[in-house]
Structure 1
Amino acid sequence: MKRMLWCLAPLVAIVASVLAQQPPVLDRELFFGDPEIIGAQISPDGQYIAFIKPWNKTRNIWVKKADEPFEKAKLITADTKRPIPGYFWSRDGKFILFVQDQGGDENYNVFAVNPADPPAAGSEAPPARNITDAKAVRAQIQLVPRSDPDTIYVGLNDRDKAWHDLYKIKISTGERTLVSKNTDRIVGSVFDNKDQLRLAVRSADNGDTEILRADPDGFKKIYTCNVFEECTPIKFHKDNKRVYMETNKGDDVNFTRLVLLDPETGNTELVESDPDNRVDFGGAVISELNDELIATVYNDDKQRFYWKDKKYEADYNFLKKQLGDKQIGFGSHTKDEQLWLISASSDREPGETFLFDRKTRKLTQQYRIREKLPREHLASMQPVRYPS
């Protein structure tokens, strides 16, 4: 019996040691509760930063001056029934636009609020105007034009619940003008660099996707991919003639890739596919100043950037040196593209947001997502690959 006890004693000691080294069990609220601050966006002039933060236990929009602490932020929306699902600044920075539904019906309307306005009567936030003002209708924002900052183009299924007609809406007044009735099964509109409607995407009866050219006398089909393929226009090239498109059309194509589509001929030209031949095309970073392609992105085990602009590449390398082996994301930016909100995340860092000044190389932390989550107790992760 004594010998058995002596044998058990080391085992008990080992188990106790292992248990002592285990990280604590973390409250799931730390992982799944509402983050304190998320979704920051800088105003076009760089003077203000908007963000999402709970108010009365509901996610709402707040605004602060760029150089002020978050504690001094002003409440912009005061919704207590539904969290704000998304928002953005108008091109001139005069308004914040957001979408909201009623009771979870997913019939989103577009609202505009002037951050400079005083609180509405009986509220802590400025008045918000419903600029789509349509019941039982789901609004789809199609374009925020550079040429007219007081305008947005929105799709509304107010005439036919199955399809969205295209409207032009004046933000400051809510004035709405019908641009085109959707009688062609259109699911998306593509505008060029001068904010002219040039292409449309149609869902065919058999499930195919069709790219249509907008001619004065109607739409003309120029490109098709079947239900097992993808063909998605992204943005017009700087020449304003061809359009960047992501597609995997073709029997010998495994991954989506970036091509240029000529709307006049329907011909495509390969721009780039994954240099490592491992993943689909992940995205394009394109300047809003000159419509130049800045970088291409691929989401592999870790995100990969392929830089086309040497200045942005130098910025990225600087950020990598400052932030280490974190995944860097480029968020909103000022109109002149000199100030950027940068995110940095990793397996043990849910996310940090910084304000980056490209000219001075100043990097200023704004906030950390889930600040109360103890990073030191999170486990590191390694990618695992195996043949399927």
Structure 2
Amino acid sequence: MKTFLETIRAIVTFLLVQTGLFQLSNVANDELIPRALLFSNPERSEAKLSPDGLYIAFLAPNDRGVQNIWMQQTNATVEPIQLTFDNGRGILDYHWTYKPNVLVFSQDNDGDENFMLFKLDVSDKQKLQPEAISAQPGVQAVVLAFSNQQMNKLIIGANDENPTYHSIYEFDLTTNQKQRIFTNSRFDVEDMLFDNDLNLRVAGQATDDGGKAYYRPSDSANRRSLTSSTSDWTLYTTVAAEDYEITKPILFSLDNNQIYWIWGPGSDLGRLAVHPFGRPNENRYIYSPQKTEISLSTMFIHPRDKTVLAVLEAYHKQEIKILNDTVRADFDYLQGMKTDGIPLISDTSEDFMTWLVVYNSDQYPLEYWLYDRRQRTLRFLFSKQPQLKGKSVARMHGVTVTARDGLLIPCYLSIPPTVRVIIRFIVSVVFVSQPS
């Protein structure tokens, strides 16, 4: 006996075919993409532009299939060079620093998630020798902040004192000296925010009722040697349980006097807000999302001015919302150059003249392009999975279904590539309870 979902599927298919909404011609002739190819590892991924705009680094497998960091010049056509030579689990994450030609990367020991941090100077391609920033056994280290106003410094967290909480260190990229600035037994690193001078300004802590309380260092605290003592912290704001997942401090203004938040109270999706530091009751709302939640990762921020230029909402597809007209012509150009994809800005140089653009499309794998803003030119770099380029894939059609309780459910409909859609259609499926 057919299940309820099988019955619904059969009815929908029958209605579509019998009413002539599309023709099922040559569907059997579509070339199936082999599963091994479809789910194969990317040839190149996690591309990042150096702040000076001279290099692009990315993750790619070596001849043993182990993921390592590679690099190529932005203005040359020579083959990329390999920067790391791991033959174990591979490199999982890395960052360019603002110190020229220096990046940091993390790797663990065969998947134990005790990530070690290393510094790598790529100035001399013949002497690529990583230097340990934090490589203690059983200790997890993470990069927390770096800034173009403190180019030689890096903020890291390490759970070397307490396995539950990461203490905070300032690392000097020139001298390789590390100084603890916060002995932490209270706050999660995910809820900390540093300003442009790399000072810890806000930290969050879960409350007993399921919400979150955010604190700032007290006026009497030693900012260079913070502790978790209550005397070192002053309450900044509290967030109710229903709002804490969409409430988070994300960014400081250039002068460090204004703080940007994703602000949940009064919104189902969280709004982009800014207020003078220490005065959350003076929120000014910059953007209110219409369809989906927003986060720091969905924002395009000017590297020097520290202003939010655009926001990305992803519903049926990614939609770019321009907040600053200074970049509108750039996005118009990027969209006009490739109308079959959505231009997402992965990175920019510090002078804002070179952009690393990722085109996202339902027709081909992610593509990386280099945009010269000064000359207004766009150059192809590479595809994430070139082995899938040219394969026949189904288009992604967004459909919104209204549930019985009135809420909207975003759905996707994929039609075989050789099916010719004749007219637009709407399928409404009413779910009814089944007898027990």
**Whole-Å separation in 1 of the counterparts to 2:286 and 2:212:** 22
CA displacement 1:156-175 (0-9 Å, x = unmatched): 11001111111111224432
Give the TM-score of the pair, scaled to structure 1: 0.87
1:37-186 aligned at under 5 Å gives the runs 37-55=44-62, 56-69=64-77, 72-119=79-126, 126-186=128-188
* 1:212 paired residue among 215, 229, 234: 215
In the TM superposition, residue 293 of structure 1 has moved relative to its aligned partner by 2.4
Same amino acid, percent of matched pairs: 25
Structure 1: which amino acid aligns with 2:41?
Answer: D
Q: Report the secondary structure of 1:51's partner residue.
A: strand
Confirm or deny: 8 A CA contact 1:157 1:165 kept in the other structure.
yes
Match of 1:247 in 2: 263
CA displacement 1:99-137 (0-9 Å, x = unmatched): 1111101111111111133556xxxxx221221122211
Higher relative contact order (CA 8 A, sep 6+): 2
**Whole-Å separation in 2 of the counterparts to 1:288 and 1:67:** 21
In the TM superposition, residue 207 of structure 1 has moved relative to its aligned partner by 3.3
Q: Report the secondary structure of 1:317's partner residue.
A: helix
Confirm or deny: 8 A CA contact 1:146 1:195 kept in the other structure.
no
Q: Report the secondary structure of 2:369's partner residue.
A: strand
Q: Report the secondary structure of 1:29's partner residue.
A: helix
- Count of matched residue positions in the alignment of Structure 1 and Structure 2: 363
Larger displacement relative to structure 2 (109-118 or 147-156): 109-118
Confirm or deny: 8 A CA contact 1:31 1:370 kept in the other structure.
no
Match of 1:192 in 2: 195
* Change in 2 beyond 3 A, CA 1:155/1:268: farther
Confirm or deny: 8 A CA contact 1:119 1:127 kept in the other structure.
no
1:269-284 aligned at under 5 Å gives the runs 269-274=283-288, 277-282=290-295, 283-284=298-299
Q: Report the secondary structure of 1:314's partner residue.
A: helix
Structure 2: which amino acid aligns with 1:146?
Answer: N
In the TM superposition, residue 80 of structure 1 has moved relative to its aligned partner by 0.9
* 1:229 paired residue among 224, 227, 243: 243
Structure 1: which amino acid aligns with 2:270?
Answer: T
**Whole-Å separation in 1 of the counterparts to 2:325 and 2:265:** 31
Confirm or deny: 8 A CA contact 2:143 2:156 kept in the other structure.
yes
- 1:334 and 2:349 matched: yes
Confirm or deny: 8 A CA contact 2:364 2:389 kept in the other structure.
no
Confirm or deny: 8 A CA contact 1:138 1:157 kept in the other structure.
yes
Q: Report the secondary structure of 2:329's partner residue.
A: helix
In the TM superposition, residue 353 of structure 1 has moved relative to its aligned partner by 0.6
In the TM superposition, residue 206 of structure 1 has moved relative to its aligned partner by 4.2
- Structure 2, unmatched stretches of 5+, are 1-23, 221-231, 404-436
In the TM superposition, residue 19 of structure 1 has moved relative to its aligned partner by 5.5
- 1:357 and 2:372 matched: yes
* Change in 2 beyond 3 A, CA 1:242/1:148: closer
CA displacement 1:242-297 (0-9 Å, x = unmatched): 211113224xx32211122443233252414446x322235332212112221222
In the TM superposition, residue 328 of structure 1 has moved relative to its aligned partner by 1.4
**Whole-Å separation in 1 of the counterparts to 2:27 and 2:273:** 56
Larger displacement relative to structure 2 (111-120 or 297-306): 111-120
Match of 1:257 in 2: 271
In the TM superposition, residue 58 of structure 1 has moved relative to its aligned partner by 0.8
* Change in 2 beyond 3 A, CA 1:265/1:148: closer
**Whole-Å separation in 1 of the counterparts to 2:184 and 2:235:** 15
In the TM superposition, residue 238 of structure 1 has moved relative to its aligned partner by 4.2
Q: Report the secondary structure of 1:359's partner residue.
A: coil
Larger displacement relative to structure 2 (169-178 or 182-191): 182-191
Give the TM-score of the pair, scaled to structure 2: 0.78
Confirm or deny: 8 A CA contact 2:150 2:197 kept in the other structure.
no
Confirm or deny: 8 A CA contact 2:157 2:166 kept in the other structure.
yes
RMSD, aligned CA: 2.1
Q: Report the secondary structure of 2:350's partner residue.
A: coil
- Structure 1, unmatched stretches of 5+, are 1-16, 121-125
- 1:373 and 2:393 matched: no
Confirm or deny: 8 A CA contact 1:41 1:332 kept in the other structure.
yes
Match of 2:301 in 1: 286
* Change in 2 beyond 3 A, CA 1:127/1:386: same
**Whole-Å separation in 1 of the counterparts to 2:250 and 2:324:** 19
In the TM superposition, residue 386 of structure 1 has moved relative to its aligned partner by 0.9
- 1:311 and 2:326 matched: yes
* Change in 2 beyond 3 A, CA 1:18/1:299: closer
* Change in 2 beyond 3 A, CA 1:207/1:68: same
In the TM superposition, residue 33 of structure 1 has moved relative to its aligned partner by 1.4
